[in-house]
Amino acid sequence: MVWYKSIQFIHAHCLLYRLFFNVIAMHNAPNLTPDFDLNALRASAAQATTLLKALSNPDRLLLLCQLVEGERCVSELEAQTGIAQPTLSQQLGVLREEGLVNTRREGRQIFYTVASTAALALIEVLYQQFCAPKN
C-alpha cells in the first residue's frame, strides 16, 4: 500500500509540473515588456506556488475534485474518496487554511464547498488533460 501511495504522490507532482508548464506555454508571457512590474510578477508567482503546493497532495487534489461536483459533508467525502477520517480532516484543514474551501455547519455536520476560482480553473485543466475520455 505504501508504494501505491508513493506512486500516486509522484504522479500528482508530475501532473502539476506539466500543468504549470502548459499554463506558462499557453500564456507565453505576452504582457512582459521591458517595463513589466517585477514585484507584481513575483507576487503572482508566490500565489501560484501556494496553490500548486496545496494541490500537490493527492488526497487534497482528490477532495477538491469531489467538491467541484458540489457541496459535501465529511462522511460523504470519506465514502466517495476512501480517505480515512483522520487524514480527511487534516487535509480539509489544510484546504481551509489556504482559503480553497468554505465551510457551512448544519447541526453536527460540516459541509464543504470549493471557495477558490483559481483552484476550480486548475482542476478543470487537470480534468481535461488527465481524466476526460480520449476521442
Pairwise CA distance, residues 41 & 75, whole Å: 40
Q: What is the residue extent of each domain of the chain?
A: 2-131
Predicted local distance difference test score (pLDDT) of residue 6: 42
Phi, psi of 133 (to 5 degrees): -60, 135
Per CATH, the number for 2-131 is 1.10.10.10
The confidence score (pLDDT) of residue 7 equals 45
CA dist 57 and 9 (Å) reads: 7
Neighbours of 68 (CB within 10 A): 14
Per-residue pLDDT, 130: 84
Tally of residues, the chain? 135
**pLDDT at res. 41:** 85
Consecutive sets of 10 residues in the chain, 135 residues long: mean pLDDT of each? Answer: 43 53 52 68 88 93 92 96 96 96 96 94 88 77
State residue 130 phi and psi, 5-degree precision: -125, -15
